[in-house]
Amino acid sequence: MSKKKKLNKKIRDSYGTITLKELEEKGLVPKNFHLFDRIDMNEYQLKHKTDWWMRMR
């Protein structure tokens, strides 16, 4: 594996992952969020907007 690929893999793996089921259990998204239609999802996201991109730095 090349150095660049190894570095990219290391960066990619440094961010943790979480499943939708885990988000539902923590109460961060409503139950059956995956069944929402596009309009309902956009409405939900606008109501619960965060500054997550600032915390990722």
Whole-number pLDDT of residue 22: 92
Angle at 34 between CA 31 and CA 40, to 5 degrees: 85
Q: pTM for this one?
A: 0.51
Q: Where are the beta strands (DSSP E) in 1-57?
A: none
Provide the pLDDT for residue 54. 66
Q: pLDDT tens across 19-56, in order? A: 989 989 998 888 988 888 989 888 888 888 877 666 66
What does the pLDDT average to over 2-24? 89
Tokens of 11: 């960066």
Which sign, positive or negative, has the C-alpha torsion 26, 22, 46, 34? negative
pLDDT at 17 over 90: no
